[in-house]
């Protein structure tokens, strides 16, 4: 089972790299949705020997919210703005990919130094979660289009969610659902901001916001 879990985690990180190299917003959203669906099955591998009902609920909620509802919402957003691609990112795609590769290596080195108080089904969970967090952060700071930054934020949240799954049995179901609800609300708010920017300025390039004055 550990081999399958490792394979799933590697696939999740590879999908993160695919998001990094994508310049078409539709492709980024589609890959994010696939990554989130795969992320949703990780609890079944982590707790295969002691699966409980609330773990199934959390996993299904992650798949539905992150894998389907949020991508659908983001597709709706890009249909209402005059934007389909990220043409001139602040940090080039090649540079972002290089930094992501270094982040992955650094995450594995850092994770090897950490001592977790309980046995983990796979030693790759922590470094993979760190890698997703850093890749999401790079997308947020390296892309100029607001929707690209939203996707980056969601990738970052996927990394946080992956790490939180290590403590799933220690955390009440209400807390887990609260995290998912907060993430959903954040995506909705960011989507509203994107649409308002487009309505007011006919552009969702966040660099244009630096020219705003009272």
CB 131, CB 13: distance < 8 Å: yes
Highest mean pLDDT among 65-69, 192-196, 201-205, 209-213: 65-69
Q: What is the pLDDT of residues 35-53, one digit of tens each?
A: 999 998 998 888 878 788 8
Asked if the structure places residue 214 within a domain, the reply is no
Domain of residue 158 covers: 2-207
pLDDT of residue 214: 52
CB 55, CB 25: distance < 8 Å: no
Q: What element of type H or E holds 105?
A: helix 93-113
pLDDT-derived band of residue 188, with 50, 70 and 90 as boundaries?
Answer: low
Asked if the structure places residue 41 within a domain, the reply is yes
- Say yes or no to pLDDT of 19 above 90: yes
C-alpha to C-alpha distance for 146 and 187, rounded to whole angstroms: 12
pLDDT of residue 113: 84
Asked if the structure places residue 213 within a domain, the reply is no
Asked if the structure places residue 212 within a domain, the reply is no
CB 44, CB 4: distance < 8 Å: no
Tell me which of 144 and 125 has the higher pLDDT.
125
pLDDT-derived band of residue 177, with 50, 70 and 90 as boundaries?
Answer: low
What's the predicted TM-score (pTM) here? 0.84
CB 3, CB 86: distance < 8 Å: no
Tell me which of 81 and 212 has the higher pLDDT.
81
Q: What is the pLDDT of residues 49-75, one digit of tens each?
A: 878 887 888 888 888 888 888 888 888
Asked if the structure places residue 122 within a domain, the reply is yes
Instruction: Look at residues 100, 97, 98 and name the one whose alpha carbon lies nearest to residue 132.
Output: 100
Range of weakest confidence among 98-107, 118-127, 173-182: 173-182
Q: How many domains does the chain have?
A: 1
Widest pairwise Cα distance in the chain: 60
Q: Give the length of the chain.
A: 214
| 145 DSSP β-pair partners | 205
Asked if the structure places residue 171 within a domain, the reply is yes
């Amino acid at each position: 089972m550990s081999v399958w879990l490792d394979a799933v985690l590697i696939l999740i990180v590879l999908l993160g790299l695919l998001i990094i190299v994508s310049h078409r917003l539709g492709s980024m959203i589609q890959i994010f949705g696939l990554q989130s669906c795969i992320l949703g099955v990780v609890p079944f591998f982590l707790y295969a020997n002691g699966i409980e009902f609330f773990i199934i609920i959390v996993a299904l909620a992650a798949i539905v919210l992150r894998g389907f509802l949020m991508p659908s919402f983001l597709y709706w957003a890009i249909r209402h703005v005059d934007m389909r691609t990220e043409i001139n990112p602040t940090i080039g795609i090649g540079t972002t990919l290089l930094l992501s590769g270094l982040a992955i290596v650094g995450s594995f080195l850092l994770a090897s130094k950490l001592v977790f108080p309980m046995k983990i089904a796979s030693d790759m969970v922590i470094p993979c979660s760190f890698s997703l967090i850093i890749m999401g952060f790079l997308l947020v700071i390296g892309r100029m289009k607001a929707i690209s930054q939203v996707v980056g934020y969601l990738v970052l949240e996927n990394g946080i969610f992956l790490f939180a799954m290590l403590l799933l049995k220690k955390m009440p179901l209400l807390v887990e659902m609260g995290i998912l609800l907060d993430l959903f609300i954040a995506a909705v708010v960011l989507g509203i901001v994107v649409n308002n920017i487009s309505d007011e300025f006919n552009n969702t390039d966040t660099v244009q916001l630096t020219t705003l004055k009272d």
